[in-house]
Structure 1
Amino acid sequence: MSRLRRTPPQDLTPQARALYEKITSGPRGQFMVDSEGGLTGPFNAMLLSPPVGDPLQELGAAIRYRSSLTDRARELAILAVANHHDSAFERAAHEPIARDLGFTDDQLQALRTGAPLRLSDATETAILNVTRGLLTKGDLDDEEYATLDKEQLFELTTLVGYYTTLALQLRVFRV
């Protein structure tokens, strides 16, 4: 059971309401709104502290919609983070996106379990290997570091940190 009540927009403080409007009018739109108008997933917790929640959701929007990582590479990394932190919400939110991007059921199963995964794209393979290295070691060896360009590596480490933060918040607030 969730530790947070999903607050309908009319019951929010003015600051929280402004953040709510920003989240629901953005590219994530109504996907994160329940039948009574409350925010679902990690976004509900962001309303607790709009001065922190707003930059956090902006970071997520930048990662999702303005990064140089391909959609497939991004979803690979997100699902690897979801597996590592056993984040059911992130898995449920991102597996359909990955499926729409052409990931097979077998590939999604490998991402769910952390099993080896053969990918035909060398960059996707590097993204997955680097993500798993970051998650298991908190660092990269020189060989892993050299598999991506610095822009990709910066964006990927930011993605791993962001989705790790969300996984922690989702777990603590029992979302």
Structure 2
Amino acid sequence: MPISRIGAIAPSSAAATSSPILSSLFTKILTHRPAVLHIHQVVAHNPELLRAQAQYAAALREHSAISRPLQEILIIRIAQINGSTYEQSVHRPIAINLGVPAAKVDSVAHWQTEMALFEDASERAALLYVEEAAGEGTVTDKVFTELEQHYSKQAIVDLSALVGWYVGNTRFTKALQITNEGIE
């Protein structure tokens, strides 16, 4: 099965090894992951875009006022809202590796009724914000006011940027029919 409807640039391909940008990026990715993700192999058709995306995604993860485990829960919920099985295939194992219990990861779609797993008020405020921001995009004053009670301005910017990035990724992966990780 092809990785996407436009193909992909594999890390060992001539296109990747002959491009200093791709060679460097793929080497860096492979220092943190066992394989280069399908989405990276597709974006590699534009090496400069892949480089810019890698820098932005790193900033989202590493310089955020939102904890990494919560980021992963929110990314999974964004992917669910937008019908992206690809993003869920990537972020489920990341969440678990970061210490989020599998039962909690598997219950993200039903977080509002899973009080025992989602009892933290700040986490629930972030999830409610994601429900509105990643869905229609309009966030009610009530939801925003609740969010402000738990998060700093930087955290709200970080959360909003996370929503924007992953809504975009869900659309990108669906439009190009990028196969879920683990499926070649």
Is the pair's TM-score, using the shorter chain for normalization, greater than 0.5?
yes
Deviation at 1:105, TM superposition (A): 4.1
Q: For 1:93-172, what aligned pairs fall within 5 Å after superposition?
A: 93-111=90-108, 113-114=109-110, 116=112, 117-118=114-115, 119-146=118-145, 147=147, 148-172=151-175
Q: For the structure 1 residues 102 and 13, does the alpha-carbon distance in structure 2 shift closer, same or farther, using more than 3 Å as the test?
A: closer
Aligned length: 168
C-alpha RMSD of matched pairs (Å): 2.5
* Gap change, CA 1:131 and 1:31, over 3 Å in 2: farther
Out of 11, 15, 21, which is 1:12 matched to? 15
Matches of 2:26 and 2:63, distance apart in 1: 16
Task: Pick which of 2-11 and 57-66 moved more.
Answer: 2-11
Given the alignment of the two structures, is residue 32 of structure 1 paired with residue 6 of structure 2, yes or no?
no
Deviation (angstroms), 1:51? 2.4
Superposition deviation, residue 114 in structure 1: 4.8
Look up the SS of the partner of 1:137 in the other structure: coil
What 5-or-longer segments of structure 2 have no aligned partner? 179-184
Give the TM-score, by structure 1 length: 0.80
Whole-Å separation in 1 of the counterparts to 2:32 and 2:23: 10
- Give the alignment partner of residue 42 of structure 1, picking from 39, 42, 52: 39
**Within-5 A mapping of 1:58-69:** 58-69=55-66
Which contiguous aligned blocks of 4+ residues in structure 1 show a shift greater than 6 angstroms?
A: none
Identity of aligned residues (%): 21
**With structure 2 as the length reference, what TM-score do the two structures score?**
0.77
> 8 Å contact 1:87–1:171 — kept in the other structure?
yes
What SS does the aligned partner of 1:12 have?
helix
For residues 15-35 of structure 1, the C-alpha deviation after alignment (integer angstroms, 9 at most, x for no partner) is: 8541342244158733333xx
